[in-house]
Amino acid sequence: MDNAKSLIHVRDCWKSFPGKKPGEQVHVLERVNLNVDAGEFVCVVGPSGCGKSTLLNIIGGFFKESRGEVRVAGAPVNGPDPRRIFVFQENGVFPWLTVEENIGFGLMSRPAEERKERVTHYINMVGLSGFEKSYPRELSGGMRQRVEIARALAANAEVLYMDEPFGALDFLTRIKMRTDLIRIWQAEKKTLVFVTHDIEEAVQLADRVVVMSKRPATVAEEVVVNLPRPRDLDSPGYLAARDRIFAIMGMDVHGGGTGDPK
Amino acid sequence: MNRLISIFLPLSTAVIFLVVWHFLVRLSGSDLFPTPMEVVRGIRELIEKGLLLKYIVASLFRVSWGFMLAVLVGVPLGLILGWFRAAFQALNPMIQILRPISPIAWIPVAILWFGIDDTAPVFLIFLASVFPITVSSMAAVQNMQLVYLRAAQNFGVKGPQLFRRVILPAALPQIITGIRIALGIAWLVVVAAEMIAVNSGLGYLIIDARNAGKRYDLVVAGMVMIGLIGLVLDLLIRQLEKFDEVKWGYGQR
Ligand SMILES: Nc1ncnc2c1ncn2[C@@H]1O[C@H](COP(=O)(O)OP(=O)(O)O)[C@@H](O)[C@H]1O
Ligand SMILES: [Mg+2]
């Protein structure tokens, strides 16, 4: 899948962090290759602690790769960029701003008129009308994630990097958020790179699922999920894709063991 | 019911305290230390002479100046120290050495530098309150959640904008806590400062009442006023914590 015209292009990317002892290095990523095309919805799955957040932070410009090549829209990544907004695992909505102030955060350089229009539009899109003047502490976890997504969309980001955005939500809210995210993605035609440790979530959402191995992590395999949306979670295609990923990650859903899928 | 208890409990503590105080003075047979009633009469005497209000205003005036200067210096200084590593490395050791020196120890120096007018106590109050404000502002920036910073950087916010739109609001709840502690300390110190350097204020009242005729009823009256005003100051400054922009920083209460 090495493809120079991809929007996001990660080639032989290595990353290590300084370890606890002086001179020691913790190897987190090892020769990771990844390409994402414009408009694609790609999920990255892998076991907890394997380096998914690390990879996303490198693509997002918050970490620097130790070795390798990371290019987005043709240019090497040198720090974060307003055209590509990160949605954080721990929720990055500003608690001192109201919902509408948060969503307008990336629009301060625009005329007030346009700002107001965009904020209203995206408040409606994420289903938060009526909560314009609320503060984040008055919202539920799911609503706070909606604010963060709307904030990225309002700023007209082309790419959203989402790091387990629904990880802290309860089951039903998570299901609802997935449906809404698909709807928003279809309406806005953004590129989405979505990290999760939840295999089911990945198969429900993505065009393509990138499966990472244990640490030091590399891309174990990619599974294309070529299924129509909304997805039928009982269809053979869905189950096949899901079981394939379980197998790659060394978990046999049917046998319960960790053995080789063959 | 809960409301009733929350009024009844502290009230009965106060009543018991006053009764015990009254009988202890009677039992000891002291004619210098006043009973609660004598203190009330002392306060009335001060009001009638027009001294009470005058002294309260004098003390509050000094606290306001010293404290306001401390906020104006301490908050920006703390933000800078918390954000710029080089500034922290250059100045923090000095601050940590100056900080434990009691403002009382500065009294002779203050008199030497500023004489005995209002400047000396204002300086002492400034000194006493500027350190807690600086240190809490600094810590607030250093402990700021990284995710807010990242989000702001992601939207291309930097420089003075980053300070105004993210660093300051993120640090504000903890800064306010520091300011509140500093005001308490400032009020403690004004009394000590007035005992030496000036001829008005509640601290002066206490020392003067003792020196001019062992009027311990007025001494205790001064103490009671200091306590009550301290309580009011704290209640007032706590209102800052109620603003929507900072409420998030104080947990669920
Ligand atoms: N800034 C850092 N310094 C040192 N080690 C780190 C740092 N960030 C992550 N790590 C380590 O890298 C590994 C992968 O972390 P992470 O990317 O957060 O995993 P995941 O998101 O897949 O759960 C973990 O073992 C973690 O301890
Ligand atoms: Mg993670």
**Do residues B70 and B129 make contact, with C-beta atoms less than 8 angstroms apart?**
yes
> What distance in Å separates the CA atoms of residue A195 and residue B57, rounded to the nearest whole number?
62
Residue ranges of domains in chain A, CATH in brackets: 1-80+190-262 (3.40.50.300)
Average pLDDT score over residue span B93-105: 93
ipTM over 0.85: yes
Q: How much is the pLDDT for A89? A: 87
> What distance in Å separates the CA atoms of residue B52 and residue B39, rounded to the nearest whole number?
13
**Which strands form A8-18's sheet, in the order they lie side by side?**
A25-36, A8-18, A67-72, A75-76
Q: Is B229 within a domain?
A: yes
Q: Is B193 within a domain?
A: yes
Give the gap in angstroms from C-alpha A21 to the nearest C-alpha of chain B: 24
Give me the CATH number covering residue B229: 1.10.3720.10
Average pLDDT score over residue span B58-70: 96
Inform me whether the pLDDT recorded for B228 exceeds 80: yes
Q: Distance, CA B153 to ligand 2 centroid (Å)? A: 20
How many structural domains is chain B composed of?
Answer: 1
**A161 to chain B: closest CA residue:** B154
Average pLDDT score over residue span A244-255: 78
Closest CA to A137 of B180, B147, B156, B243: B243
Q: Do B151 and A88 touch (CB under 8 A)?
A: yes
The percentage of chain A sitting over the pLDDT mark of 90, rounded to a whole number, equals 86
**A97 to chain B: closest CA residue:** B245
Report field, pTM of the whole predicted structure over 0.95: no
Q: Do B151 and A155 touch (CB under 8 A)?
A: no
The mean predicted confidence, pLDDT, of chain A is 92
Q: How much is the pLDDT for A257? A: 45
Residues 6 or more apart from B185 whose CB is under 8 A from it? B128, B129, B132
Average pLDDT score over residue span A79-99: 95
Q: Is B168 within a domain?
A: yes
Q: How much is the pLDDT for A40? A: 97
* pLDDT tens figures, A117-132: 999 999 999 999 999 9
Q: Is B128 within a domain?
A: yes
Mutate to test the pocket of ligand 1, among A53, A64, A211 (most ligand atoms within 8 A of CB): A53
* pLDDT tens figures, B130-183: 999 999 999 999 999 999 999 999 999 999 999 999 999 999 999 999 999 999
Q: Is B253 within a domain?
A: no
Q: Distance, CA A51 to ligand 1 centroid (Å)? A: 6
> What distance in Å separates the CA atoms of residue B75 and residue B129, rounded to the nearest whole number?
11
Could you tell me where the DSSP H helices lie in A126-254? 141-154, 171-188, 199-205, 236-248
Q: Do A90 and B166 touch (CB under 8 A)?
A: no
Chain A residues lying within 8 Å of B245, measured CB to CB: 96
Q: Is B26 within a domain?
A: no
Whole domain around residue B235: which residue ranges? Answer: 38-243
